[in-house]
Amino acid sequence: MSSAVHKYAAPPGKALSAHKYAAPPGKALTARMGMWLFLFTELILFGGLFLLYAVYRTQFSEDFHYAAGGLDTGTGTANTLILLTSSLTMVLSIAFLKQGRRQASLGLVLATMALGAAFMVNKVFEWTAKFEHGLYPSSDILVEHTPGENMFYGMYYTVTGLHGIHVLAGIAVLGWMAWTMLPVPGPRMESSEDGKARTESGEDGDARMRSEVVERKLENAGLYWHLVDVIWIFVFPLFYLIS
Amino acid sequence: MDRNHPQSPGFVTKPVAQDGSQSAASHVMVWVALVMLTGLTVTVAGLHLGAASILVAIAVAAVKGTLVLSRFMHLAQEPPVFKVMLGVAISILVVIMVFTFVDVAFR
């Protein structure tokens, strides 16, 4: 079989109705490319904050070291491991979906959401503890500390807060994906075992195209989730490991 | 054999499923590497090496980030244009950072 034959090709004898379910082969590629372009804007967004951090860190080096001692390295490490594991469940859910193992894929999407939620629960405990110690922007306690310490905690709340919003957005996107992947009666959720049967009629072909759309969406949701993980990979040492 | 059957050669040569060839085991190995690197960076930070500490931390973070980008985000299997795009984005970031630091240093 020639390499020109790909999964979007119509089955033999069905060429005339191929337009019904033959998506252009470049569609998944351009969808991913669009997602990457969006991710670059995220990179610049957080890059600007990292730049701010770097400049103030050089100006208030000692204060940053001292203030970072107030952060709980254990919580930060736990959250790092949680996010790394969520990236694993995310990438596996996409791999399983491509193998047609939709139930397993859906389970892994839900696991990714649960890990994201666990990350946020840790974050809430962490922030609450800081607030109880009076360590929040412009607090009575913090204003009496050095400008550098105030700058550190300002950066800490801005960066981890913005990152937390991204985690919440990721959970929402994955929730929408899970909803799309829920097993429903009819052709929306079919296993790969009947891959042959699916191509025999136009209606099943539509189902196949829908499954390709789900695959594409989950891929892009995964790209977003992994980027949020990449950002945390840099946030973690810069804030939690410099005391 | 129907070409849409998973065992058919036509199915294997579909253009967007290169990462389908990446086994679950290889993803788990990447995760193990990421966890070990996290352990390394936490351990090194605990040694209080001073100025070298932050360099090690950023180097380890860069390796971890590269692993996630190339293996979990499948950048390794994407066409070259994706890597060029990433290179442009990172270059813009580097230019902004270098010029800001030059400005701050000679202010």
**Cross-chain CB nearest to A6 (options B14, B42, B92):** B14
The answer, yes or no, to whether residue A8 has pLDDT greater than 80, is no
Q: Using 50, 70 and 90 to split pLDDT, how confident is the model at B16?
A: very low
* Res B10: pLDDT: 43
Compute the nearest-CA separation of A154 from chain B (Å): 20
Amino acid code (one letter) for A200: E
Alpha-carbon distance of B86 to B107, in angstroms, equals 32
Exposure string for B24-52, b = 16+ CB within 10 A, e = fewer: eeebeebbeebbebbeebbebbeeeeeee
Q: Where are the beta strands (DSSP E) in B1-107?
A: none
The answer, yes or no, to whether residue B94 has pLDDT greater than 50, is yes
* Res B35: pLDDT: 98
Q: What is the CATH number of domain A29-240?
A: 1.20.120.80
Cross-chain residue pair A196–B24, CB shorter than 8 Å: no
ipTM value, please give it. Answer: 0.81
Cross-chain residue pair A43–B93, CB shorter than 8 Å: yes
> What does the longest C-alpha to C-alpha distance in chain B come to?
72
**pLDDT averaged over every residue in chain A:** 85
Alpha-carbon distance of B20 to A92, in angstroms, equals 10
- Mean pLDDT across A33-61: 95
The answer, yes or no, to whether residue A23 has pLDDT greater than 80, is no
More confident residue, A172 or B46: A172
Percentage with pLDDT > 90 across chain A: 65
Instruction: List CB contacts of A213: < 8 A, sequence separation 6 or more.
Output: none
User: Is residue A100 within 8 Å of A239, Cβ to Cβ?
Assistant: no
What's this model's pTM, rounded to 2 decimal places? Answer: 0.82
Domain ranges of chain A: 29-240
Cross-chain residue pair B16–A29, CB shorter than 8 Å: yes
- Mean pLDDT across B26-35: 97
* Res A127: pLDDT: 96
- Mean pLDDT across A132-158: 92
- Mean pLDDT across A66-93: 96
pLDDT in tens, A178-234: 999 987 654 444 444 444 444 444 455 666 667 888 999 999 999 999 999 999 999
Nearest CA in chain B to A25: B15
The answer, yes or no, to whether residue A151 has pLDDT greater than 90, is yes
* Res B66: pLDDT: 96
The answer, yes or no, to whether residue B13 has pLDDT greater than 90, is no
- Angle at the Cα of A242 from the Cα atoms of A120 and A46, rounded to 5 degrees: 55
pLDDT in tens, A96-110: 999 889 999 999 999
* Res A26: pLDDT: 79
Measured between beta carbons, the chain B residues lying within 8 angstroms of A9 are 3, 10
Cross-chain residue pair A242–B54, CB shorter than 8 Å: yes
Residue A66 φ then ψ, to 5°: -65, -45
Alpha-carbon distance of B38 to B44, in angstroms, equals 10
- Evaluate the CA torsion angle B51, B52, B53, B54 in order and state its sign: positive
